[in-house]
A and B are shown apart, each in its own frame.
Chain A
Amino acid sequence: MSIAIEQLRHVRLACRVPEQAAAEAQQALGLREAFRQDGEIALRSDARAYTLILGDAAQGRSAIGLEVRDHAALGRAAEALAVRGIAARFDDALATRRQVKALLAFATPGGLDVELVWRPQHKGWRFFPSRDSGVTGLEAVAMRTPSLAQDEALWTELFGLSVRDWVGDAAYLGFDAAHHRLALHPSAQAGVLAVEYAVESVDKLMQQHYLLREQGATASHGPGRRPTSGQAFLSFPGPDGVHFSMIAEGRRIGPDDRPRQFPAEPSSYCAWGSDCAIAEFQPGAALRPRPALREVGKA
C-alpha cells in the first residue's frame, strides 16, 4: 500500500545569503516573513504557517516538505524506504523547528532531500501579502535530478503520485486535482529548479512581467502557457540558481485524464513561443553542471 501525500507543504532553499534571499523573495512574490529560527527565515504565502524557508547552505541542502495524514504513515514510509535501501530518520529537532508534530527525513535516489511531516501548522489569521502581488499560495515545485527514472519510480510506487504528463524524460507528478505538484527535470545535479506560486489571475502575472522589466530584470521563462498543464506562467531568477514562478489558471485533472508524452522541444514547455533561459527546458543542449556554489547542491 502506498503512503498517500496530502499536500505539498514547504520548500527549504539552501542559500549563500539567506537574509538577502528572503528580502528578495518577499519583494518579488509579496511573501511575508513568518518567523526566524536558527539562521533560517520562514516566509508565508497562504493559510499555511510558512511555505518557503531560506536557510544557510552550510547548514543543509535544499528540501521539500510533504504532508502525510497520520503518524502511522510516517512509520510505514520509513519501513518501505528501508526495503528500497533508503535510510530515513525521525528528526525531532527538525520537527520542532518546522513546527510539526513529527518529521521523517530522507533523500531520494537522485539526491533530493524530503521532509515528510505530520500535523504542520495552519494559521488562524489570513495571509496579508507584503505587496499586492496577487499570490494565493504555494502551487508546485520543480526539481532537478540526475536520476530521474529512479526518483519517478519512488514517487509513483511508494507515495502514490501519478505521472500527469512527460516532456521528453521530464515528468510532471500529481496527487490531487492540480495537474502537478512536483516536476522532475533531468539535470547533472540534484536540487530545486523552481518554486512556483499561484497568483489570482493572468493579470497579476503580466503585471509582474512589466514590473520586472521596469526594474531592469529579465524573466528566465515566459510569460507563457504550458501545453501540458494549461498553466500561464512567468519564471524569473531567485536565489542561487533557483527560479521563482508565478502560475495562473491551468486545468484540473479528472478520472478520464491520462498521462501524455510530449516531445522534448521548446514548444512543449511554452505554447506562446516565449523566450527561455532555463537550461533544463532547452532540450538537446548539453546539460552542464551548475556552477559549484559554496556547498549548494552538494551532498
Chain B
Amino acid sequence: MIALRDVCYVRLGTTDLDAARDYATTILGLEVAERSTRAVSLRSDHRAHTLTYFEGDPAAHTLAFEVDRREQLDEAAATLERLGHRVRQGSAVDAEQRRVRAFIGFDDPTGNAIELAWRPETGAGRYRGARDAGITGFSHVGLCSTDVERDERFWTTVCNARVSDRIGDAPLLRIDRVHHKIALFPSDRAGIQHINHQVASVDDIQRSHNLIREHGIAVVFGPGKHPTSSARFLYFEGPHGMVYEYSSGVCEISDELLYRERQFEFGPKGFCEWGAKPAIREFNT
C-alpha cells in the first residue's frame, strides 16, 4: 500500500511562460517563489511552491504526492514495477528543481504522470499572494480517467485513497480527513482536469467571481455549492484550457469506520445545489 500523505505540487508545461506567470499572479493570486528562464514556481501556502509552469508541451501535466519516509519511495517503486508501471527515479538535479529531497515518477493506469516526493521544502517567510484572493492553499486535483472503475481500484487498493462520494461513476477520493484530494473524471485523455486552491471564505469566492468576469476570463462553473463536500466553489479557465477552482468550506471526514460514501447523480444537481450549470466537458454527459 502506497501511503500518500498529501498532494504536494503540480507541474504544467506552457508555450508562453510570461503569460502563464501573469495569469498565475494577477488572476489566480499566487506568489512567485522562484523563476528561471525555463520555469516559474509559485507559492499558495506555507510550502516552498505548489505550482510550476515550465517551458514545454502544454499537455504535459504532473501531479505529485508527499510520502513520509524515504523507504516508501523504494517500496512504492517495487510495488508499481510489480504491477507493470515503469518507474522513473528522480535525478538529484530534478529533485533540486522540485525542492524535494528525493522523488520517483510513474504513470497511473490512465497515463497521468504522477510523482511521489519525500521531504518537500517549506517556504521561507509567510505566503503572501499577488492579490487579495484569500488563498489558503493548494488542496486537490481532478484527474482525467479513461476507465474510472480501474483507476478507482488503483488509487484505493495500490494507494491509500478512500472513496468519499461518487458523482455518477466519478469518485471523489480522500487520503486524509479532507473530503477529497483526488477526483477522477471520465475522459478520453490523460491529464489534469482541474486544480483546486482553497480560499478563506465564501466572500473570497464571490469577490473573485466578479473580478475574474471583469477580466474577461471565462467562468466555467459557479459560483456554486457542491452537495458532496459542501464546498462553495468557482471554476474558471486558465492558460491552455486548464480549469482552476477556488473553493471554501470543504467538509472533513473524521470517522473512517462509520462514514459511508454516497451516490450522487451525474448531472448539474449532483455537482451544484445552488443551481449553477457546468460548462466543463468532464462534468457533462
Please state if B223 and A206 are interface contacts (CB–CB under 8 Å). Answer: yes
The stretch of A99-107, A119-127, A166-174, A208-216 that contacts the partner chain: A208-216
List B contacts of A211 (CB < 8 A): 275
Given A211-B275, A214-B275, A271-B203, A206:B210 Cβ within 8 A: no
List A contacts of B273 (CB < 8 A): 203, 207
Please state if B207 and A202 are interface contacts (CB–CB under 8 Å). Answer: no
Please state if A206 and B274 are interface contacts (CB–CB under 8 Å). Answer: yes
Q: Which of A210, A225, A272, A273 is packed against the most chain B CB atoms within 10 Å?
A: A272
List A contacts of B223 (CB < 8 A): 206, 223
Please state if A210 and B275 are interface contacts (CB–CB under 8 Å). Answer: yes
- Is A224 part of the contact surface with B, judged by Cβ < 8 Å? yes
- Is B202 part of the contact surface with A, judged by Cβ < 8 Å? yes
Please state if A225 and B275 are interface contacts (CB–CB under 8 Å). Answer: no
List A contacts of B210 (CB < 8 A): 272-275
CB-CB contacts of B237-263 with A at 8 A, as 1s and 0s?
Answer: 000000000000000000000000000
**Interface residues contributed by chain B, number (CB under 8 Å):** 15
B269 to chain A, nearest CB (A): 11
Please state if B211 and A210 are interface contacts (CB–CB under 8 Å). Answer: no
Nearest residue (CB) in A for B225 is A203
Please state if B274 and A272 are interface contacts (CB–CB under 8 Å). Answer: no
Among B203, B207, B211, B225, which residue has its beta carbon within 8 angstroms of that of A206?
Answer: B225
B192 to chain A, nearest CB (A): 28
B285 to chain A, nearest CB (A): 19
Complex CA gap A207/B202 in Å reads 15
Given A206-B225, A211-B275, A214-B275, A273:B203 Cβ within 8 A: no
Please state if A203 and B274 are interface contacts (CB–CB under 8 Å). Answer: yes
Among B206, B209, B214, B276, which residue has its beta carbon within 8 angstroms of that of A225?
Answer: B206
Complex CA gap A206/B205 in Å reads 13
Please state if B276 and A223 are interface contacts (CB–CB under 8 Å). Answer: no
CB-CB contacts of A249-280 with B at 8 A, as 1s and 0s?
Answer: 00000000000000000000001111100000
Complex CA gap A210/B275 in Å reads 5
CB-CB contacts of B109-139 with A at 8 A, as 1s and 0s?
Answer: 0000000000000000000000000000000
- Is B224 part of the contact surface with A, judged by Cβ < 8 Å? yes
List A contacts of B274 (CB < 8 A): 203, 206-207, 209-210
Complex CA gap A209/B223 in Å reads 10
Among B206, B214, B276, which residue has its beta carbon within 8 angstroms of that of A224?
Answer: B206
Nearest residue (CB) in B for A274 is B210
Please state if A273 and B211 are interface contacts (CB–CB under 8 Å). Answer: yes
List B contacts of A210 (CB < 8 A): 274-276
Nearest residue (CB) in A for B209 is A272
B208 to chain A, nearest CB (A): 9
CB-contacts of B136-185 with A (<8 A): none
List B contacts of A272 (CB < 8 A): 203, 206-207, 209-210
A206 to chain B, nearest CB (A): 4
Given A225-B203, A271-B203, A272-B203, A206:B224 Cβ within 8 A: yes
Nearest residue (CB) in A for B210 is A273
Please state if B275 and A223 are interface contacts (CB–CB under 8 Å). Answer: no
Complex CA gap A207/B214 in Å reads 23
Complex CA gap A214/B275 in Å reads 9
CB-contacts of A264-299 with B (<8 A): 271-275
Among B202, B207, B275, B276, which residue has its beta carbon within 8 angstroms of that of A273?
Answer: B207
List A contacts of B202 (CB < 8 A): 202
CB-CB contacts of B215-230 with A at 8 A, as 1s and 0s?
Answer: 0000000011100000
Complex CA gap A14/B225 in Å reads 38
List B contacts of A275 (CB < 8 A): 210
Q: 3 closest Cβ contacts across the A-B interface?
A: A210-B275, A273-B210, A206-B274
Q: Would you give 7 A-B contacts (Cβ < 8 Å), ordered by A?
A: A203-B225, A203-B274, A206-B223, A207-B274, A224-B206, A271-B207, A275-B210
